[in-house]
Each structure stands twice: as structure tokens, then as C-alpha cells.
Amino acid sequence: MAQLSGRRIVEMVKEDLKISKILTKEAFENSIKVNAAIGGSTNFIIHLLAIAGRVGVNLDLKEFDTLGSKIPLLVNLMPSGPYLMEDFFDAGGLPVVINEMKKHLHHNVITVNGKSLLDNNDGAECYNEEVIAKLEKPFMEEAGIAVLYGNLCENGAVIKPSAATPELMSHTGTAVVFETIEEFLQTVDNPDLEIDENSVMVLKGVGPVGYPGMAEVGNMDLPEKLLKKGIKDMVRISDGRMSGTAFGTVVLHVSPESSVGGLLALVESGDRIILDVPNRKLHLDVDEVELQKRKAAWRPPTPPVDRGYTSLYTKHVQQSHLGADLDFLVGKSSADVTRDAH
């Protein structure tokens, strides 16, 4: 496959089939819809925004909601269902999903083999409808990513409804704050921790700048004492990411992050937080005078490393709603070769 890919790249040069002809706005919109249909990871948002930024395509975080949140769930995979990736492959895989989704997709997008996306997947056969559903009989009517806004996430935050608990999608609770991932690990299972199933777990300092690198720790394991009570899910909020295989009512990618002074930095244990996914809102219910007082007292955390690549990264990384890419890599490059290199 590597050799065939190399050969195809050479053919693409001869055909003048540039990446700019493949990575079009329509292609990005198709990917958002297909990701929703498969119940894909929230990590997809970060990657796609970064890729769009590098090729000069204007892609906004809101579009992951407007284009994808009403798409039906066609793939019965963890964490949205019981099956595994190998079952998806055996059932026919992504070609089947794309073929089912064709009425929702742009038909004119060209792929690297020179054919359209739909031509490549036309007539794909499904071998197991318990794993891949028909469009008219999906596993869930609406399954894409929901993008939240509010004073707690001025530039946006995301949640994956297909992996969340329906009863928690509209929830008001008091915050239990962990300032760092180290504090979380040290205290979450402390039997004296003041927390119950109605609390909202808040983790700070795990965003692009804060960790640094936006670690996959946003899913936050539940406290041991609540697990023993049979509690399986709670509302959790962070400026970090989580694994695509994790489940739960987890709000991620809060932007701006706490380490650069986003409102998340000002949340204290006991504050009331309102999550309203149907209306796409995430709100910290604290008086504005009190917030201004906290903001005046807030100081940015000391960077763990202030030299080398880590320093370069933290000074130039963008926030999650822009793809967490380095700002100097954003923008479409020219195809011109200005100087011979040999």
C-alpha cells in the first residue's frame, strides 16, 4: 500500500491534481457529516480545524453543529453502541456509510484517485445491519457533535450526545473543581471529597497551553465512592480532550482555556453551573461583581518549561476552537518553488 501510494503521488503530480483541489470546503463539510454518521470522536474537530487552517479553508467550530448535529447515527460502535472497529470493518466499513449518506453529501468532491467520493463508494454492500444501519432506520435520529456557548465557553465547547446520558443533557449542579490533573488524581477517590452524583466535575489546566498539549484526560474517572453507589455518569467539564472510545456526559475543549484566563479559570467549588445541551448553552451562574473580583486576583500559572520547543509551542499554539495548531502554520501556502534545492 505504501508503494502504491507513492506511485499515485507521482501520477497526481503529472495530472496537476493538487491538495487544494481535494481539500475543498465541500470536502470538509462531507467529512463533518460522515463523522456524525459514524458517531466519530470529538478529537476529529481539533484535527479538521487544524487541517482547514493550514490549507486556507474557512471552517468554523459552529459548523460541526449546524452541519452534523442533525445527522442520524448509522454505526453501532463503542462508545455509542456495543460493537468494535473490527466489526465495523467486517460489516463493510466506511464505504457502506458513505453510500448510505449520499443524499446528505456534496457529490462533486474529488479524491486522490481522481474519482469522486461517491463514485469510489457506489454500491458498497453492508454485511451486518446490526452494525451499520440504513439511513431510513438509524440507531439514533440525531448523533453529531453539539457545540455549546455561554459565559463559561465564550469561544465554544463541545459534547458528544451519542455517548452521553440523556437525563444529564439538561442539568444544573454545583462545581467540584480540580485545579490540575495532579490534584484530580490525588483527591478524586478521597472518601472525604464533597461530591455527589448531582455535582459537576470541573478540571482546569489541561488545554493546549495548560497541559501543555491538550491531553486526553477530559473524561475524568468518577469518584470511587460514587461508583460503589452504582453511579455510572456525571457531568464533567474541562478544557482538555478525551479518547474517542470514552463515554459520558463530558463537555470538552472549553475555549478560552483556563491557563490563558478563560472564565473556566475563575470557577470555584460550590459555584452553580448550568448545562443545557438542547439550547447549546453552558453557563456559570455567578454574580458579575464576584467574577470581576476573582479575575482581578487571578494570575496565570507558571509554565512547566520555559525554553526549547515547549516554550515555542505554548507561545504560538492556538485555542481549541481554532484547531490548537501553531499560529505560524496557518494559511494557504503557494505551490510555487521559489528556489532550487539541489
Active site amino acids? 243
What residues have CB less than 8 Å from 286, skipping those under 6 apart?
266, 271, 272
**Amino acid identity of 125?**
E
Question: In 3D, which of 191, 33, 14 has the Cα closest to residue 100?
Answer: 33
Measured over the CA atoms of residue 203, residue 208, residue 209 and residue 211, the dihedral's sign is: positive
Cα-flanking dihedrals φ and ψ of residue 52, to 5°?
-60, -40
Angle at 40 between CA 39 and CA 45, to 5 degrees: 135
Question: In 3D, which of 288, 61, 20 has the Cα closest to residue 158?
Answer: 61
Tell me the pairing of strands 200-203 and 170-178. parallel
Instruction: Assess contact for 57 and 322: CB atoms under 8 A.
Output: no
Tell me the pairing of strands 200-203 and 235-238. parallel
